Amino acid sequence: MRAVSRRSVLFSAALPALVTPPFSAQQLNQPDAHLLALGRRFEFLATQIDDQRKSPPLKDLLLFGSIHDEIAATRARTIDGLCEKAKAGCWTLLGDFESVDDSATGARMAFSIMGDLIRMHAPHLEHPGALKTLLREDKPRSW
């Protein structure tokens, strides 16, 4: 009998969410239905990437990057859509909004809006100081 791994069980449980149509009957009237569906796929893949102990396969990273790009290119029409975009941006910053450089005023305002949306709708995603901590941990050691 073949042993069942936790990864295969999780994949089996999550597969229907990835292959089901992105729009339910209730969402058809939602102006940001496509963006919300992209956000669900992004969050699922981000969790998979974050939980892996080794580098994910290149095809997974390419899919993840294309979903991220499509989220950025899709116009949000509701607060829910804006929040999906903010969550994707928050993931790219490791939840560390304080790491944003003050030199680009427009970018600073965009990150400020993203930070406000995350703080209102998904505060568990914010992690001040995460980038500094990561950079300290990844510094090459001099022997």
2 and 65 share one domain? yes
Number of domains in the chain: 2
List the structure tokens of 15. 């597969």
* Residue 8 sits in the same domain as residue 61: yes
pLDDT at 84: 92
Q: Could you tell me if 71 and 135 lie in one domain?
A: no
Q: Please check whether residue 83 lies inside any domain of the structure.
A: no
The highest-confidence range among 11-20, 34-43, 69-78, 121-130, by mean pLDDT, is 34-43
What is the rounded CA–CA span in Å between residue 90 and residue 72? 12
- pLDDT on residue 134: 85
Half-sphere exposure of 40 (CA within 13 A, CB side): 15
Residue 4 and residue 47 in one domain: yes
Quick one: average pLDDT of 88-112?
77
Instruction: Enumerate residues 6+ apart whose C-beta is below 8 A from 91.
Output: 42, 46, 125
Give the confidence band of 135 by pLDDT, cuts at 50, 70, 90.
Answer: confident
Burial class of residue 12, CB neighbours in 10 A (0-12, 13-18, 19+)? exposed
- Statement to judge: residues 72 and 5 lie in one domain: yes
Is 102 a domain residue?
A: yes
61: Cα separation from own chain's centroid: 12
Same structural domain for residues 97 and 36?
no
DSSP 78: S
Q: Give yes or no: residues 73 and 49 share one domain.
A: yes
For tokens 């944003």, what's the residue?
Answer: 100
Q: Looking at 26, 42, 77, which one is the last position of a domain?
A: 77
At 98, the pLDDT band (50, 70, 90 cuts) reads: confident
DSSP letter assigned to residue 131: H
Residue numbers of the domain that contains 100: 93-143
Judge if 11 and 66 occupy the same domain. Answer: yes
- Is residue 56 domain-shared with residue 10, that is, in the same domain? yes
Within a domain: residue 84? Answer: no
Classify the C-alpha dihedral 128-121-91-44 as positive or negative: positive
Q: Provide the mean pLDDT of the chain.
A: 78
Same domain, 13 and 56: yes
Alpha-carbon distance of 38 to 44, in angstroms, equals: 10
Do 19 and 65 fall within a single domain? Answer: yes
Residue that terminates a domain, selected from 28, 52, 77: 77
